Amino acid sequence: MQIEKKDIRALSKEQLRDFFVANNDKAFRGNQVYEWLWSKGAHSFEDMTNVAKTTRSMLEENFVINHIKVDTMQRSSDGTVKNAVRLHDGLVVESVLIPTDTRTTACVSSQVGCSLDCNFCATARLKRMRNLEPGEIYDQIMAIDKESRLYYNHPLSNIVFMGMGEPLMNYNNVIKAIDMITSPEGLGMSPKRIMLSTSGIPKMIKKMADDDVKFKLAVSLHSAIDETRAKIMPFSKNFPLKDLREALEYWYRKTKSKISYEYVVWKGINDDKASIDALVKFCKYVPCKVNLIEYNPIDDGEFQQASEESILAYIKALESIDVVVKVRRSRGKDIDAACGQLANKEAEV
């Protein structure tokens, strides 16, 4: 019976060093291999040119490198790039490169499908098939960094976890990936350039605060009225706004990091005065800013973009209490560049 090989990237540097010592080799080989895997992004053991051929053969016998493959890449007329990313088991997720004049942002996925049931989101219809491994998340970043350098002549500058999946439902793997992204032994990116977007799971928001994470937090809010939010995001019945509010207050006390609220305004759903007043009240609890997001309809159903008048009413009300509010227009419309529903927006970290 053939034993399935383990992905070598699941090993820490210490475990790699121990592996080499156990196989009568020098511990420093573990350092070499670790650098190839993460800093240099080796796709195969043959890429490790300063490692002896016999050592590479030993690695081949014991491990695999389950790298992603960019199956198809589409470039929009506005410069947005969408990647269909094939995983080692044949499943596919999406990642998106969002360019501006001064930077490029990677929008990455954390799950195949999604654990939640937001009615407006195309990904929610796929249901969750599995969590992404840390290396699979990291690979999306590496691929977009290469595309940024190729098409825009500068490295990737920002990362948003707004793609397929709910990051806090894959917490350990997402944190491991971010640790590697920010490590000098990985990409060395500042955590302040990373934003994690969640639909709002109070206990996990508190855990992030307790874990003293340094990246930024965005919450897909969409309504500050429980009944309305439950219609938009049915799972939120289990996480009432009072619990979310408490978790966000806890986050701010621990981290002193301002929260971003992602908020789509839909016609006939949350474009009335009561919804505006409720959001204004909610924004007073914790220092925050609001991103009003243009909606990309996924069908001809009940979720349709609200009028400009409604958007302007939100802006006026929020600015009256000194909340910074920005309108995020859809990007990559001609290639349907949505990983999840929010990924194609001009995300700001």
- The residues carrying an active-site annotation are 94, 339
Backbone angles phi, psi at 263, to 5 degrees: -145, 115
- Please indicate if the annotation marks 165 as binding a ligand: yes
- Please indicate if the annotation marks 268 as binding a ligand: no
Contacts of 203 (CB under 8 A, 6+ apart): 247
C-beta of residue 83 within 8 angstroms of C-beta of residue 335: no
Using DSSP, state whether 236 is helix, strand or coil: helix
Beta bridge partners of 292: 263, 327
- Please indicate if the annotation marks 222 as binding a ligand: yes
Measure the CA–CA gap between 169 and 87, rounded to whole angstroms.
19
- Please indicate if the annotation marks 31 as binding a ligand: no
- Please indicate if the annotation marks 60 as binding a ligand: no
- Please indicate if the annotation marks 88 as binding a ligand: no
- Please indicate if the annotation marks 197 as binding a ligand: yes
Residue ranges of the alpha helices (H) in the chain?
Answer: 13-22, 28-38, 53-62, 134-152, 171-182, 202-210, 226-232, 241-255, 273-283, 308-319
Give the other-Cβ count within 10 Å of 259's Cβ: 22
| Residues making up the binding site for [4Fe-4S] cluster | 114, 118, 121
| Residues making up the binding site for S-adenosyl-L-methionine | 165-166, 197, 220-222, 296
| Residues making up the binding site | 114, 118, 121, 165-166, 197, 220-222, 296
